[in-house]
Amino acid sequence: MTRPLCILSVGYDPTLLHMRTMVLRSNGYVIKEAQSVEQAQLLAESDLIDLIVICHTVPESDQLKLITAARRARRLLPILCVTDQEFGCVARGCEAASSSPLELLESVREAVRSHPM
């Protein structure tokens, strides 16, 4: 039996983080939340994390710190950066994902297909 996919959701706005967690959990994912880059870095290094979702509320400098740490520990770990704009830019090393719940779920599914665990 395979375990459910474990997603690390990182964000600095507790309301957005909670809403995103609810959407992902309702679709069968196990969610670990982090509201600081330090907490996220510790969780990202865990072999239990299958994917990272970084909210647009995390400043780019913190996104880069987290992405760099995650890539150093686990270079193939898929990382999605949620943007609040249709054509928003994301930090290097991160794939763009929409803040729309349905589009975010599709981005998660695509990231999993592209990076089999």
Model confidence pLDDT, tens digit, residues 28-60: 999 999 999 999 999 998 888 999 999 999 999
Percent with pLDDT over 70 in the chain: 91
pLDDT over threshold 70, residue 117: no
**Rounded to an integer, what is the distance from CA 54 to the centroid of its chain?**
4
pLDDT over threshold 80, residue 84: no
Tell whether 111 is covered by a domain: no
CA distance 44 to 49: 6
Token digits of residue 82 = 């949620």
Tell whether 50 is covered by a domain: yes
The residue-averaged pLDDT of 13-20 equals 96
Tell whether 52 is covered by a domain: yes
* Domain assignment of residue 17, given as a range: 7-88
Which residue would you say has higher pLDDT here, 90 or 40?
A: 40
Tell whether 95 is covered by a domain: no
Tell whether 77 is covered by a domain: yes
Report if pTM > 0.85.
yes
The CATH number of residue 20's host domain is 3.40.50.2300
9 by DSSP, 3-state: which? strand
* pLDDT value of residue 2: 76
Number of domains in the chain: 1
Confidence of residue 87 (pLDDT cuts 50, 70, 90): low
